[in-house]
Chain A
Amino acid sequence: MSRGSLHQEGVALLSLLSRHAETILDTYLKGSIAESELEPRKLDALMRGGRVLYRPEPGADLRLNPDVERMLKMALQDERNRSIDADTANLVAGIKALAGHYKESLTYGRMEEADHALLEIESSVYEFKYRLQKGIKGLWSRINSEFGYVTSLSGKIRENEWAQSQVALLIERLGMVNFTELWELAGEQRDLRRILVNTLQRAVSECSEELLSVQNRIAELLGRFRTRQRHNLTLKGWLIHSQRNPDYAAAVADLPWGKELPPLLNVAAPVLKPANVDVAGFYRQDLLDIAATLKGAAAPKVRKAPAVNLPVQMAPAQAIEAMVDPIQVSVEGFLIAALDAGGSPVSAAEYLRDEAWEKDCWVCLLLIELDRRRLEGEGSIFVETILAEPRTDAPGISVVQDVLVCASA
Chain B
Amino acid sequence: MKSEVIEILLDGQSICAVSKEDAHAWLAEESNREAVNSVLMNVNRTVARVGDTYHAAYLTLGEEERKIAKAHLKDAAHALGPIVRWIVMTQDARSDDTPLRAGDAIKGAALMDAAERIPAVREELARISRMPFFGSTSDAIDAQIKQTLAKLTKGGYLVQPSPERQHYLVTGKVEYLYALLHLIDEVGGLSLEALADPGPQQEPLL
Enumerate chain A interface residues (CB-CB to B < 8 A): 151-154, 228-242, 248-250, 252-253, 255-257, 260-272, 274-275, 374, 377, 379-380, 383
Contacts and interface: CB of A to CB of B under 8 A. Distances in A.
A240 B195 contact: yes
A155 B28 CA distance: 35
Please classify the interface of chain B as helix (H, G, I), strand (E, B), loop, or mixed, using the class held by over half of its residues.
Answer: helix
17 contacts: A151-B96, A154-B97, A235-B178, A235-B196, A237-B193, A240-B192, A242-B81, A248-B188, A252-B188, A255-B187, A261-B61, A261-B66, A261-B69, A263-B57, A271-B43, A272-B11, A274-B11
Contact of B101 (A228, A262, A263): A228
B184 A236 contact: no
B74 A237 contact: no
B192 A233 contact: yes
Interface residues of B, number: 62
Contacts of B164: 383
B73 A234 contact: no
Contact of B184 (A151, A252, A275): A252
A345 B192 CA distance: 54
B73 A265 contact: yes
| Overall SS of chain A's interface | helix
Contact of B88 (A235, A261, A267): A235
A268 B45 contact: yes
Contact of A249 (B45, B80, B195): B80
Contacts of B150: 377
A352 B97 CA distance: 57
Given A235-B181, A240-B196, A264-B183, 14 more contacts: A230-B193, A234-B196, A235-B196, A236-B192, A237-B193, A248-B188, A250-B77, A252-B80, A253-B74, A265-B72, A266-B48, A266-B57, A266-B61, A268-B57
B37 interface: no
Contact of A255 (B48, B181, B182, B184): B184
